[in-house]
Amino acid sequence: MTVSDILKRPYHGIVWSAALAGVLLLFSCATVPITERRAIHLVSDEEMTTLSLQEYSKVIQESKLSHNSAEVQMVKNAGSRIARATEELLKEKGMAEDIRTYKWEFNLIDDPKTVNAWCMPGGKVAVYTGILPVTKDETGLAVVMGHEIAHAVAKHGNERMSQGLLAQLGGVALSVALSTQPAAATDLFLSAYGMGTQVGVLLPYSRVQEAEADKIGLALMARAGYDPREAVPFWKRMNEKGGSRPPEFLSTHPAPETRIREIEAFLPEAMKYYRGK
């Protein structure tokens, strides 16, 4: 009897699926910096970075980049400072290997109607001009960029894509999925980073991941020399900006009151990084 025959039997199929899931969880768990939560990562950093470069290039080519030199420079300044802080922090925590594929890039996209920003694997960051009236200054911008870079540092996209590979493609390796089901694999990657065209079917970050990005982002901005206490007024401004319909940046985020409460609770820890400056 072949393995295929065994898997066709309901009971054996369940046993083998459970065994496979157990093996994957055992060998694919990673620790998130700062929070030290354990997460499953089935995709290598190299594979995620390769897809990131492809998709980021497409977005940049298809977008109108800002020519406002002051605003562009502010984005690059904040990004560079947080990038240095990120690398320093990961090295101190013995996680230097996590940034070996990083090639930082920061772009400001001229789109006043889009209140958003994001970071992909490898340190590929995009900020939309629509969020600048809310950030107000470089410190406010550091709140946003710290949060988005934190998602990448915590490898939340890898975690979501790994969940998708397990749930939708049977846990196959990404390289196999790309060769046998390229469209499905690419869609998984895009949805993992909220970049698909069908907004209604995008997989939002979980509340755990959002709270994690808030905490890591506060530590990163503080380490970069920005006052993390400014995160509270920023999120209050962002919530006021939303009105009855929240901006895209808030559409998958926790309730405003919950977020601000949790940020205020973490501020004493974040200030430890800031005082070192």
220 near 231, Cβ under 8 Å?
Answer: no
Taking the C-alpha atoms of residue 144 and residue 249, their distance in angstroms, rounded to an integer, is 10
Q: 195 by DSSP, 3-state: which?
A: coil
Catalytic residue of the set 55, 148, 159, 212: 148
Q: Is 148 a catalytic residue?
A: yes
250 near 239, Cβ under 8 Å?
Answer: yes
Report the first-to-last Cα separation within the chain, whole angstroms. 66
How are beta strands 38-40 and 117-120 bridged, if at all? unpaired
The CB density around residue 157, as the number of other CB atoms within 10 Å, is 27
Helix 231-242 to helix 138-153 angle (10° resolution) is: 90
* β-bridge mates for residue 65, sequence order: 109
Q: Which residues are catalytic?
A: 148
